[in-house]
Amino acid sequence: MKDGLPPRRCAALAYATILRDRRALEPALEHTPGYRKMSDRDRAFARAILATTFRRLGQTRKVLDKFLAKPLEETTEYAAALLVTGATQLLWMDGPPHAVVSTTVALCQDTTETYGLKGVVNAVLRKVSTEGPDLAARTAPRDNLPDWVSRSWRKAYGPGTLSRITNVQMQPPPLDLTVKDPLERERWAETLGAEILPTGTLRRKEIGDVTQLPGFREGAWWAQDAAAAIPATLLGVKSGDHVADLCAAPGGKTLQLAALGARVTAVDDNEGRLKRLRDNLSRTGLRAAVAVEDVRRFRPKGPADAVLLDAPCTATGTMRRHPEAGWIKKPGDVQRMSKLQLEMAGAAARMLRPGGWMVICTCSLQPEEGEQLAARLLETRKDLKPVAIQDGEVPGLAEAITPEGWLRLTPALWADRGGMDGFFAARFEKRS
């Protein structure tokens, strides 16, 4: 059976690549043989299989374990990929059982190592199709978190919030947009069929092809999660201020600052991601200087009035949009990234003029990359003092402000509206 083979093959190959090379979902798909030659419909199907596979990976593995003679981890790489992506379609995507089983078995012919496993794959997936739904019903959304992530979040946020976070992460995320001209929000909300969130972000229930939506080509808005849009608003930037946006790509915060009339210098060491930033600037008609450099070595021409550091992190706060994020990270990554973040934050502070404000943020739910990072920065930089975030600066999110005056956003917030990414933000002033 040939129908449906290419997208299912791409999903299985990309799944194996993501876990083996710890790559993000989209780049893994883009570099999978045959992906670019497929129709738009087949590419969308492959992406849907892969996203659902990682969103439900823990539950799917629990079901598969009931029918395997040995642990899935001991199965050959491609065979494991076929079993997991096939079971995902049966359990969570309402895939027609006959089509899913027959195409997955046909894909076993792709390699010599899986050719001899056709009978095993066929038998296991048939059992998943008949007995799997009952087994899946006895699993829980929290099973889809890697063990180290689940332990960390339970300790940091408690079992109740952990459950709310994982429940939100099971749903496909909405599309969030930042409008270039705030006075145009209502018009674009009506045109796009979007809701205006309390913080000003526009939210559509469905993502679709963003490039085909009204307002995209003329650069009236850009895609940016509601949580990611908040840190730039905490800088108190005025028109004409010199702002350093560090680790800026792909550029959502740069666009926000430029739209306020700031003189922005966007710094990032990833040329590929900076291309997206430049494209976004061109599309929106906004201006910013761009520097390809390691933040730790960058020196602006003069002290900045404000600095925004969106530091590299484990990105565990983005798992609702990037469900593979937790599975390609390891516990040791948290310590490694938190060390890098502190070095970058120190460099950022050196760029700031006395009396200027700095905001550091990460899209991580790990305390080491948030609350503990801010505390360590205050210990090591005596020239900084905290500036507490106020209720009125984050409408509808007063509960996210910590006793220290920092901002801790989790996907559990605004759950009835579709949630948001996990983010941490803290604000500082450089002493005179």
Could you list the active site residues?
363
Cβ contacts of 135-140, under 8 Å, gap ≥ 24: 135/62, 135/63, 135/66, 136/59, 136/60, 136/63, 136/91, 136/92, 139/58, 139/59, 139/62, 139/63, 140/59, 140/166
- For strands 423-430 and 384-386, give the pairing: antiparallel
| Distance, CA of 331 to CA of 363 (rounded, Å) | 16
CA–CA dist 365, 409 (Å, integer): 8
Residues 245 and 266: their CA atoms lie apart, in Å, by: 5
Please say whether the beta carbons of 267 and 295 come within 8 A: yes
Residue 86 tokens read as 């096939």
Under 8 Å CB-to-CB from 367, ≥6 apart: which residues?
Answer: 152, 156
Is 155 exposed, middle or buried, given 0-12, 13-18 or 19+ CB atoms closer than 10 A?
exposed
- 408: three-class secondary structure by DSSP: strand
What angle do helix axes 5-21 and 40-55 make, rounded to 10 degrees? 40
| The two three-digit tokens of residue 9, written as one number | 């093959």
Check: CB of residue 61 under 8 Å from CB of residue 86: no
* Distance set, CA 323 to CA 1, 25, 58, 96, 173 (Å): 30, 9, 11, 24, 11
Quote the CA–CA distance of 44 and 42 in Å, as a whole number: 5
CA distances from 70 to 66, 67, 74, 77, 197 (A): 10, 9, 7, 14, 49
